[in-house]
Structure formats: structure tokens, C-alpha cells
Structure 1
Amino acid sequence: MVSVELERAGGALVWRVPRGWWGLSSAAVGGGLVRPCWVLNLGVGDDFTRTDLDRYASSRADGLGVSGPGTALLTAADVSQVVATEVDGVRVWATVGVTKPTWAVPPERAGHDGVSGREGYVPGTINIVVVVTVPLSASALVQAVGTTTEAKAQALVEAGVPGTGTASDAVVVLSPEPPGDEGHAEPVVFAGVRSEWGGRIAVAVHGAVLDGLAAHPWEPDASGGAGVVW
């Protein structure tokens, strides 16, 4: 079966997506339920402040030679340090930058209203691209994103990182789109953590995030705050 391969070019990671594939993504550029021609993981500087992300990603895509609709992730992490894992038909790539881990509900926000949660914010991003080689239904794509997030959070907690992720994490899950014609094999409809394909996703994501953390461990600074990882 045609799959999706990683290319490296110009401070970016590029995946060219075959026709007939679809995906679900939390990316700010080309996110949602998508049928992308490409996925990019774009390295940006720590001082990146642009808010016209669609325009920025489009310009970078042009420079990388990809066209058509696509999905772009951005990170201040070193994209050349991408980690890849593969488990029985599931392929995962992750860039793991944890300069500022956070809990879903930070302690200072628990039980309080009106707190922005952005004081002292420092960029740090875990971007994950998941490729599943069997057709996933729309609901299975949603489940797969949830499974990816759970596996990432488990890896962080096991590694002693005080948080379930960072405030700017993003994920893309890609698979062949189920054919609409009758008579074709039914798509996979379960991708939760205890399902067959969800279990494979979880193991692959968990391994990729742990490998990324092993290469660049998170360490608190002397004041107990975030240490620089990338």
C-alpha cells in the first residue's frame, strides 16, 4: 500500500500525502478534518511572533516545492532531531521540545476564574505526525487523536516531566480514506487505547515521545522553573 514518507528540507519536515488519504489535525494551519496534499513541521525561532500563520506557512510551502491544500505545524524545537517509530502498520514522527511543560489545568488555575495562564510562558512544543496504513473512519480519527494525546501524556509523566504536554502541542493523524462504494472492506472504526489499532498508535507515540525526551531530557532550572531543552 502507498504510504507517507518523511523528507527533510530547509529547516522543515515534509510529508507528501497520497491522493485518497485524509486526516484529522489540531494544527492552527490546515487543521480539522482534512484531505491534505502535504504536511509540514516547520522550524521557527524562539522569537517567532507572527500571527499570520496561514500566509507564513503558504510562503514556506512554496519554498519547499509543495502545492495544494496542506497542514502545517510550527515549532521552535530543532526539527532535525525528529524521532521516528513504527509498530505494525503505524508510523509516528515526533519533535519533542519541552522548555515549558504544563498541566491541562495548572495548579494556579484550579478552582479560579479569570486567570490567563500565560504569565511567564516560554515556547515549547511537541508535534506528532501519525500515519495509519488502514482506512480509519471519521470517528476513529477522533479516537486516534485522543489516543495519541493520552500516550504522549503518559510518556511525559513517566519521564518525570511536570505536565501533560505544552501549551502549543499539535498532532496530525493520517490514513487512507474509506471508500464510499459498497462491497469494499469496512473501515476501522475503533482507535481508542484498548482497540487493536489504537493500541498500536499508543505504543508508537509513547515510544517516540520517550525517545525524544531521552535525547533531550527536561530539567528544571535552579528556581524550579523550566529548563532549556532545545
Structure 2
Amino acid sequence: MVTAAPTLTRHPDVLAWDVPAGWVALSSAAVGGGLLRPRWVLNAGVGDGFSRTDLATWSAEVAGQVGLTGLGCALLTAADVSQVQHAEVEGVLAWATVGVTKPTWPVPAVDVGGNPGNPGTINIVVTLPVPLSPTALVQSLGTITEAKTQALIEGGVPGTGTASDAVVVLCPEAGALGASGRPEAFAGVRSRWGAVLARAVHGAVAAGLAAHPWPPDDVDPTVVW
């Protein structure tokens, strides 16, 4: 197990994780997507008037404002990040900001075009206490998506997510910060750590939906995006 882990601090409109050296991430984030060794992760709330297109520069500025430097990942959302929900299962931690004003199916019944306007967003940040192999890291994204989808369907949401959902999964590198043994080879839903990961993500997303049940008062639940 590791001796240090990413730590979350809360700021106005920004959730910021300080990531120690020796951690690796796989992400679908708008900034810092792919495989990298981040020193920070942001989940930033942005309003309808947000117009910056230089997202890497903007996120570095925001990171600097909260005392973080180096490379990082940045998630953006129109949801209120102060309403983040958290779940922990056997050392796996999951945080989710859940905005589902415009849920979507991967293959909608009608053509809605490539941009549903200002979609709600479900951003998920996860840390695992054990190293994952490259294969397991990729599998973890599938596990996270499946667990999120299960929580949405159980909550009555007509979709598997939104058009702008994003994920960051973090784990220690093998041999770093006290992490011992070989990296976990698998993280699918029926693997040892994938099953734990699924429970943590499901719990965080379900808590987000419980706090803001579907449908919101200002949303037509018959509209499919």
C-alpha cells in the first residue's frame, strides 16, 4: 500500500486534488487526457458565460491560484462542484459531481446532432491504493462507466450519462511510495479491485442523484438528447 495519496481541497467553484509524485493517471479530461503523471487534478465549475478556448493555459492558471504547479488534469462542468459526493470502499475513493439536465443514450432514437447545447455533466475522480497495469487502467475506465450507468438507470435517468462526462482514475506506480508487488493485472467488474472500484463509483453517483433526483424541476423528462 502507499504511504501518501492525493488530497482534496475545496475552493470556490473548484475542487483541487494535490497529487504526490509517484502516481499515474488515465483520463478522458478536457485537459491532461490520456496517460500521464499529474501533480494535480481539478474539477472546475464554469458557467454559461465561460468562453476560454485555451483550456490548458486556463487550467494551469487556476491550479496556480490554489497553490498547485506542474502537469495536471482538468475537468469542467456546469454543475455546482460544492455538491460533490464521495464514497470509499476498501481504500478506493470516488468523488462525483452529478449534473444530468441533459442525459443521453449513445445511440439516440432520433438525430439530435453533435452538440446538445449546454449539457449536464458527470465528472468522476477515483483513486486506488494499488498499482494497475496499463491493461487494468484501461479496464478501470470501463468499470467506472458501467457503475455510473447502473446508478443512473436505477435512479430513473433516461440515459447512460451525458455528452460531456469525464473521468480521472489515479493509482500509484509499482514500487513508488511504498507500493509493493506487481501491478494488478485486471480491473474489470469481476476482478478483485474492479469490483471494489465499481461499488465506490456506484455509491458516489447514486448519492449525487439522491441529492438531486431525476427529473429536475426545470427539465422535460420526455426529451431525449
TM-based fold match above 0.5: yes
Q: Number of aligned pairs?
A: 217
Matching residue's letter, 1:196:
R
Q: Which residue of 1 aligns with 2:122?
A: 126
1:139-178 superposed matches below 5 A: 139-178=135-174
> Per the alignment, in what secondary structure is the counterpart of residue 38 of structure 2?
coil
Q: Which residue of 1 aligns with 2:17?
A: 15
Q: Is the 8 A contact 1:10 1:64 kept in 2?
A: no
Using the alignment, how far apart are the partners of 1:49 and 1:218 within structure 2? Answer: 29
State the Cα distance separating 1:223 from its structure 2 match.
Answer: 7.4
Moved over 3 A (4+): 220-223
Q: Which residue of 1 aligns with 2:78?
A: 76
Q: Is the 8 A contact 2:89 2:200 kept in 1?
A: yes
Verify: 1:3 aligned to 2:2, yes or no: no
> Per the alignment, in what secondary structure is the counterpart of residue 210 of structure 2?
helix
Using the alignment, how far apart are the partners of 2:55 and 2:16 within structure 1? Answer: 17
Q: Which residue of 1 aligns with 2:134?
A: 138
Using the alignment, how far apart are the partners of 1:219 and 1:105 within structure 2? Answer: 21
Q: Which residue of 2 aligns with 1:224?
A: 222
Q: TM-score, normalised by structure 2?
A: 0.91
Q: TM-score, normalised by structure 1?
A: 0.89
1:80-95 superposed matches below 5 A: 80-95=82-97
Matching residue's letter, 1:16:
D
Matching residue's letter, 2:42:
L
Matching residue's letter, 2:105:
W
Structure 1's unaligned 5+ residue stretches are: 110-114
Identity of aligned residues (%): 62
Structure 2's unaligned 5+ residue stretches are: none
1:195-210 superposed matches below 5 A: 195-210=191-206
State the Cα distance separating 1:116 from its structure 2 match.
Answer: 2.7
Using the alignment, how far apart are the partners of 1:103 and 1:223 within structure 2? Answer: 14
Distance 1:176 1:222, change over 3 A: closer
State the Cα distance separating 1:5 from its structure 2 match.
Answer: 1.9
Q: Which residue of 2 aligns with 1:112?
A: none
State the Cα distance separating 1:121 from its structure 2 match.
Answer: 2.7
Q: Is the 8 A contact 2:27 2:35 kept in 1?
A: yes
